[in-house]
Amino acid sequence: MSLYRTELRRLTKRRFTRYMTLLGLLVLLAVVLGTFFTNQKLDADTLARAERQADQQYEQQVRWSEQARAECETAKAAGTPNDGRYPDDCSVISAPSREDIQASWFLPSTFDFRETFPQTLIPFAAILALVGFVIGASFVGAEWSSGGMMNLLLWRPKRLTVLLTKLAALLTGMFAVSLPAAVAWFAGFWLVARFRGTTEQVTSGVWQSAGLTGLRALVLVLVVTTLGFALASLGRHTAMALGGVVAVMVVGQFGLGILLEMANVRFPQVWLLPTYALAWMQKKVTLQDWDSCNATVFGECRPETFDVTWQHSSVLLAVGVTVVLGAALWAMRRRDIS
């Protein structure tokens, strides 16, 4: 019997795997449905209503400014002490121009596929990565805590082969779930844009960019799944992976972020993992240092910037997977199985 097929069957038969996968897919579905019902397609009536609301807002601003200017002139004529409520020159109190009040302020939310869809791939990757991490940690962690790993090694004594085959089966299962989910995600938001937004200016370049972002999302899901598997194997328990993530996020990220802020370190986000995950998905994250000022010829003050690119993130992901998975393989080979 093939060890790979056996592990793949074991993965799919686990109730925890099924329930966790179903929960993740339901959350993704809830996001799509929530976006559908909170957006609206703009038609002629909606645009006309927004124009009327803008006109009403302008008229209201005109009445308020006339009333405030009259009160200012009355107070000035009566010699009432100016307590800061009115300027010295009452004529400066005036209403904004009609062009300053835009009708777009009164339009309901609408889903622009070209502008908004790439941003939806970030929660998609985050949700599936969380599902993959927990499933990966549980898949191997349960084997260690239940004694199933020891029984399996009696049948196939090659330790590294067993562990890597389990990982291959896990990644195959996650890819088999993530790829159709990504296709459904694209289709779902395309329908949202068709019925609750707009699909204008969606060119082949837009599709290519969205496809590459979706591919990076799938890679991120598989990487995080591998990390969960490796951490649980290294600690021989599911809690090792989950506890390690809590320690890294709470102590290593929030604590480190506070410490860097107190030390006035420039660009403290460079040392935080979420920055690199976001840069991987968006291709680039630009950090700004508002404590510095680069004056322009127009007298404008611009903060210094630092770009974190997807290339930086790829190096971090590769090093993280190599170190953690390498440590798990080393521990599997060197430590006693008991």
Predicted confidence (pLDDT) per residue in 8-18, tens digit: 998 999 898 99
pLDDT for residue 92: 79
pLDDT-derived band at 113 (thresholds 50, 70, 90) equals very high
Q: Model confidence over 173-213: pLDDT tens digits?
A: 999 999 999 999 999 999 999 999 889 889 999 999 999 99
CA–CA dist 210, 207 (Å, integer): 5
**Cα 20 → chain centroid:** 20
pLDDT for residue 98: 80
Phi-psi region at 203: left, alpha or beta (left = phi > 0; alpha = psi -120 to 50)? beta
Beta carbons within 10 angstroms of residue 41's beta carbon? 15
Mean pLDDT of all residues in 128-137: 93
Beta carbons within 10 angstroms of residue 247's beta carbon? 12
The residue type found at 338 is: S
Among 20-34, 128-142, 256-270, 309-323, the minimum mean pLDDT is found in 256-270
Beta carbons within 10 angstroms of residue 26's beta carbon? 10
Q: What percent of the chain has pLDDT over 70?
A: 83
The more confidently predicted of residues 114 and 332 is 114
Please determine, for residue 337, whether its predicted confidence score (pLDDT) is greater than 90: no
Quote the pTM value. 0.82
List CB contacts of 336: < 8 A, sequence separation 6 or more. none
Q: Is residue 259 within a helix (H) or strand (E), and if so which, with residue range?
A: helix 256-262
pLDDT for residue 247: 63
pLDDT for residue 72: 82
Beta carbons within 10 angstroms of residue 197's beta carbon? 26
pLDDT for residue 42: 82
Among 54-68, 88-102, 117-131, the minimum mean pLDDT is found in 88-102
Please determine, for residue 53, whether its predicted confidence score (pLDDT) is greater than 70: yes
The residue type found at 316 is: L
Task: Kindly give the pairing relationship between strand 284-295 and strand 301-309.
Answer: antiparallel
Among 103-107, 232-236, 299-303, 307-311, the minimum mean pLDDT is found in 299-303
Task: Kindly give the pairing relationship between strand 284-295 and strand 111-112.
Answer: unpaired
Q: Model confidence over 257-297: pLDDT tens digits?
A: 777 777 777 788 888 888 999 999 999 998 887 676 655 55
The overall average pLDDT reported for the chain is: 84
